[in-house]
Homo-oligomer: A and B are copies of this chain.
Amino acid sequence: MSVTRELAAYLVGSRPDQIPADVRHEAKRAILNYVGCAVGGSREDAVQIALKVLTPYSGERTARVLGRNERLDPLQASLLNGISSHVLDYDDTTPSNYIHPTSPAASALFAYTSTAPVAGADFVHALVLGFEVQSRIGDATYPAHYEAGWHSTGSIGVFGAAAAIAKLLELPLQNMIWAIGLAATQSAGLREMFGSMGKAFHPGRSAQSGYMGALLAKAGFTSGEYGIEGPRGFAPVTARSFDLARITTDFGSDFGLRRNTYKPFPCGIVIHPTIDACVQIHRDTKLAVRDIRAVRLKVAPLVLDLCSKRDIRKGLEGKFSVFHAAAIGLVRGKGGIAEFTDATVNDPDVKRVRETLTVAEADPSIAEDEVMVEVTLTSGEQVVKHVEHAIGNLARPMTDVELEDKFRDQAAAVLGVRRAAELIALCWSIDKLADCRTLIEATAPAP
């Protein structure tokens, strides 16, 4: 059997009752995190522009755009959902291949299921499979594919969207092979777009392309049979080296969702340990700004290579300043959306800690997910915090409660506190819903 055919056969044969309970729960964590990101990102400029430009090119507007009152046809809604869920760089990550896999798969799934009655258990099953396809293709082609310059959340995400929709459409084997092939031949997304709206466009367009590929494949639009492994197929064309056995090993027992991680803070990952340590100091000591005499950070050298600016004015710059990371942790005891606004960056207390009181030292013995923070208080007392693995890492995953906090931090601004809480409950119970639209409609703000 070929790799593409073997993968397609697994997708066609998989049943919801074959997904282990821990994987189902991890899928719900991924959905909770995804919905929070999509609602939280739904006001960003990239979303507003795309919505305005593409509305005239929408068919019957049957699909909800998450977090908004507008509807579009489900292909266009997929694109919008993909943009909003990735635009804050806050969605999930599989560290083994740097893909953000939930965005492309769930963006297509939420668009589709907002137009038809789909049981939550089938949604979760399709998401598990859409995630799985990305994990397997991602692990098989990492690092060569990513290092070549592909933004794999786009270039591999398209397979996840195609597989997830094709599963809900109940495609038989031959058509599933074509859906994978049509995904392969639409695979796109360059890392050169980082720093522009083009980055968030990637999971959106891949959701839409994968979805369309599944629709065409269902109707008999053919593709090559060896979309992944053929000599001119996805893997040989986009990666110098790869291990295709990783795509077809341990079907049904190994699941990429078990290796998923969630960003606790919406900023560069190398400053996460510093926020984590400083938030802990804030919680443990209840210190006030006037109590702080000096702050000393020992960080991995890479951190200062990437994030050493302190004289900053913009929220976006704060996302890449380790000094700002220390300041918000100590002053606010948080590192959420509000801590990376222009207002917070220019807050006098935050500014003082960031620009006057904090020094940072590169220490080659400190790992990238590690930090040593020493705070000298005006009393002369020293508070020391050593974080060995920042929160959010696989070694120290965010708890369900922390994911709920993150969700509220994003969604409450759009929906209000009460409706955000209701939406959290719906995400946890999605696998019990007779019709996913109960959840989807709850993402719409008051008109």
A interface residue numbers (CB < 8 A to B):
45-46, 49-50, 52-60, 73-76, 148-151, 154, 178, 181-182, 184-198, 201-202, 205, 209, 212, 215-216, 218-224, 226-227, 230-234, 236-237
Contacts and interface: CB of A to CB of B under 8 A. Distances in A.
Contacts of A75: 57
Contacts of A53: 215-216, 218-219, 221
18 contacts: A49-B216, A53-B215, A53-B221, A56-B59, A57-B74, A148-B237, A181-B192, A181-B198, A184-B192, A186-B188, A190-B224, A190-B232, A192-B224, A192-B226, A192-B233, A194-B224, A197-B222, A197-B223
Contacts of A150: 237
A209 B188 CA distance: 11
A46 B76 CA distance: 22
A142 to B, nearest CB: 16
A197 B73 CA distance: 25
A198 B185 contact: yes
Nearest to A189: B185
Top 4 A-B residue pairs of the complex, sorted by shortest distance between their CB atoms: A149-B232, A191-B232, A149-B237, A198-B223
Contacts of A73: 56-57
A157 to B, nearest CB: 13
Nearest to A73: B57
Given A57-B75, A59-B59, A231-B149, A222 B237 contact: no
A50 B221 contact: yes
A46 B222 CA distance: 8
Contact of A190 (B45, B197, B237): B237
A156 to B, nearest CB: 13
Nearest to A79: B212
B220 A49 contact: yes
A201 to B, nearest CB: 7
Contacts of A230: 192
Contact of A56 (B56, B60, B224): B60
B223 A196 contact: yes
Contacts of A58: 57, 59
A178 B233 CA distance: 29
Given A184-B192, A187-B190, 20 more contacts: A49-B220, A56-B59, A56-B73, A57-B74, A149-B231, A149-B233, A149-B236, A184-B190, A185-B189, A185-B193, A185-B201, A185-B202, A187-B188, A190-B237, A192-B233, A192-B234, A193-B224, A194-B232, A198-B223, A205-B209
